[in-house]
Amino acid sequence: MIAKNQGAKFAIGVDRLTTRKAAINGFNELLTKELLSISLLQIAPSSRADVDEYQKYKEDVENAINHVNDDHGTDEWRPIHYTNDSFSQAALARLYRDAHVGVVTPLQDGVNLAAKEYVAAQDPEDPGVLVLSKFAGGG
Protein backbone atom coordinates (compact mmCIF):
# COMPACT_ATOMS: atom_id res chain seq x y z
CA MET A 1 0.00 0.00 0.00
CA ILE A 2 2.82 2.43 0.85
CA ALA A 3 5.91 2.68 -1.32
CA LYS A 4 8.64 2.42 1.29
CA ASN A 5 11.60 4.73 1.24
CA GLN A 6 14.84 3.05 2.28
CA GLY A 7 15.22 3.67 6.01
CA ALA A 8 11.94 5.57 6.45
CA LYS A 9 9.75 4.63 9.39
CA PHE A 10 6.11 3.70 8.74
CA ALA A 11 3.52 5.55 10.84
CA ILE A 12 -0.23 4.99 10.92
CA GLY A 13 -3.08 7.18 12.11
CA VAL A 14 -6.67 5.95 12.24
CA ASP A 15 -9.15 8.51 13.45
CA ARG A 16 -11.78 10.98 12.42
CA LEU A 17 -10.90 13.53 9.79
CA THR A 18 -11.63 16.41 12.16
CA THR A 19 -8.49 15.60 14.17
CA ARG A 20 -6.10 15.54 11.24
CA LYS A 21 -5.22 19.08 10.21
CA ALA A 22 -2.98 19.88 13.19
CA ALA A 23 -1.27 16.50 12.90
CA ILE A 24 -0.53 17.10 9.20
CA ASN A 25 1.09 20.43 10.07
CA GLY A 26 3.24 18.73 12.72
CA PHE A 27 4.21 16.02 10.25
CA ASN A 28 5.24 18.72 7.78
CA GLU A 29 7.56 20.26 10.38
CA LEU A 30 9.15 16.88 11.08
CA LEU A 31 9.81 16.28 7.37
CA THR A 32 11.35 19.73 7.06
CA LYS A 33 13.93 18.67 9.66
CA GLU A 34 14.28 15.01 8.68
CA LEU A 35 13.34 14.58 5.02
CA LEU A 36 12.52 11.03 3.91
CA SER A 37 12.53 9.82 7.52
CA ILE A 38 8.91 8.70 7.82
CA SER A 39 5.80 7.80 5.82
CA LEU A 40 2.30 8.22 7.24
CA LEU A 41 -0.74 6.19 6.31
CA GLN A 42 -3.71 8.25 7.45
CA ILE A 43 -7.01 6.39 7.54
CA ALA A 44 -9.94 8.74 8.16
CA PRO A 45 -13.23 7.03 7.35
CA SER A 46 -15.94 9.47 6.29
CA SER A 47 -18.49 10.01 9.01
CA ARG A 48 -20.27 13.24 8.08
CA ALA A 49 -20.00 13.36 4.30
CA ASP A 50 -23.41 15.00 3.95
CA VAL A 51 -22.49 18.05 6.09
CA ASP A 52 -21.19 21.07 4.14
CA GLU A 53 -18.73 22.13 6.89
CA TYR A 54 -17.30 18.62 6.95
CA GLN A 55 -16.79 18.70 3.16
CA LYS A 56 -14.94 22.02 3.47
CA TYR A 57 -12.78 20.66 6.28
CA LYS A 58 -12.06 17.53 4.22
CA GLU A 59 -10.90 19.73 1.33
CA ASP A 60 -8.66 21.71 3.71
CA VAL A 61 -7.08 18.52 5.05
CA GLU A 62 -6.59 17.10 1.56
CA ASN A 63 -4.99 20.38 0.46
CA ALA A 64 -2.65 20.26 3.47
CA ILE A 65 -1.70 16.66 2.62
CA ASN A 66 -1.09 17.58 -1.03
CA HIS A 67 1.08 20.50 0.10
CA VAL A 68 3.22 18.21 2.29
CA ASN A 69 3.49 15.62 -0.48
CA ASP A 70 4.43 18.28 -3.05
CA ASP A 71 7.03 19.86 -0.76
CA HIS A 72 8.67 16.69 0.54
CA GLY A 73 7.78 13.85 -1.81
CA THR A 74 9.68 12.54 -4.79
CA ASP A 75 8.58 10.90 -8.03
CA GLU A 76 8.82 7.50 -6.30
CA TRP A 77 7.75 8.37 -2.76
CA ARG A 78 5.01 10.34 -1.01
CA PRO A 79 5.29 11.03 2.71
CA ILE A 80 1.52 10.90 3.35
CA HIS A 81 -0.91 8.32 2.04
CA TYR A 82 -4.49 9.22 2.85
CA THR A 83 -7.69 7.26 2.50
CA ASN A 84 -11.31 7.53 3.55
CA ASP A 85 -11.84 3.80 3.07
CA SER A 86 -12.97 1.51 5.87
CA PHE A 87 -10.79 -1.45 6.79
CA SER A 88 -11.68 -4.73 8.48
CA GLN A 89 -10.33 -5.31 11.99
CA ALA A 90 -7.97 -7.96 10.59
CA ALA A 91 -6.60 -5.59 7.95
CA LEU A 92 -6.14 -2.82 10.52
CA ALA A 93 -4.37 -5.22 12.89
CA ARG A 94 -1.89 -6.14 10.12
CA LEU A 95 -1.25 -2.46 9.37
CA TYR A 96 -0.83 -1.65 13.07
CA ARG A 97 1.64 -4.51 13.46
CA ASP A 98 3.68 -3.34 10.46
CA ALA A 99 3.80 0.27 11.66
CA HIS A 100 6.80 1.58 13.56
CA VAL A 101 4.71 4.44 14.95
CA GLY A 102 1.04 4.71 15.90
CA VAL A 103 -0.27 8.28 15.89
CA VAL A 104 -3.38 9.17 17.91
CA THR A 105 -4.04 12.91 17.97
CA PRO A 106 -7.59 13.86 18.88
CA LEU A 107 -8.02 17.54 19.66
CA GLN A 108 -10.86 16.94 22.11
CA ASP A 109 -10.94 14.75 25.18
CA GLY A 110 -12.15 11.25 24.53
CA VAL A 111 -11.18 7.63 24.71
CA ASN A 112 -9.56 6.49 21.51
CA LEU A 113 -9.67 2.77 20.75
CA ALA A 114 -7.06 3.13 18.01
CA ALA A 115 -4.38 3.48 20.71
CA LYS A 116 -5.42 0.22 22.37
CA GLU A 117 -5.71 -1.55 19.02
CA TYR A 118 -2.25 -0.38 17.98
CA VAL A 119 -0.65 -1.59 21.22
CA ALA A 120 -2.49 -4.93 21.11
CA ALA A 121 -1.27 -5.62 17.55
CA GLN A 122 2.42 -5.07 18.29
CA ASP A 123 5.05 -7.79 18.08
CA PRO A 124 6.40 -8.14 21.65
CA GLU A 125 9.88 -8.82 20.20
CA ASP A 126 9.87 -5.59 18.16
CA PRO A 127 7.09 -3.25 19.30
CA GLY A 128 6.38 0.10 17.69
CA VAL A 129 6.03 3.45 19.42
CA LEU A 130 2.68 5.03 20.24
CA VAL A 131 2.45 8.83 19.98
CA LEU A 132 -0.56 10.17 21.88
CA SER A 133 -2.15 13.58 22.09
CA LYS A 134 -2.75 14.72 25.65
CA PHE A 135 -6.44 14.61 24.74
CA ALA A 136 -6.48 10.96 23.67
CA GLY A 137 -8.09 9.78 26.91
CA GLY A 138 -7.14 6.75 28.85
CA GLY A 139 -10.33 4.73 29.13
Least-confidence region, from 20-29, 30-39, 94-103, 106-115: 106-115
| Confidence at residue 70, expressed as pLDDT on a 0 to 100 scale | 94
Mean model confidence pLDDT for the chain? 81
Is residue 38 exposed (0-12), middle (13-18) or buried (19+ Cβ within 10 Å)?
buried
Distance CA 5, CA 80 (A): 12
Tell me the pLDDT tens digit for each residue of 42-85: 988 776 667 788 788 888 889 999 999 999 998 888 999 999 88
Q: What is the pLDDT of residue 121?
A: 95
Q: Please write the tens of the pLDDT for every residue from 19-29.
A: 566 678 777 88
pLDDT computed for residue 67 by the predictor: 93
Answering whether pTM is above 0.75, one says: yes
Q: What are phi and psi of 69, to 5 degrees?
A: -65, -40
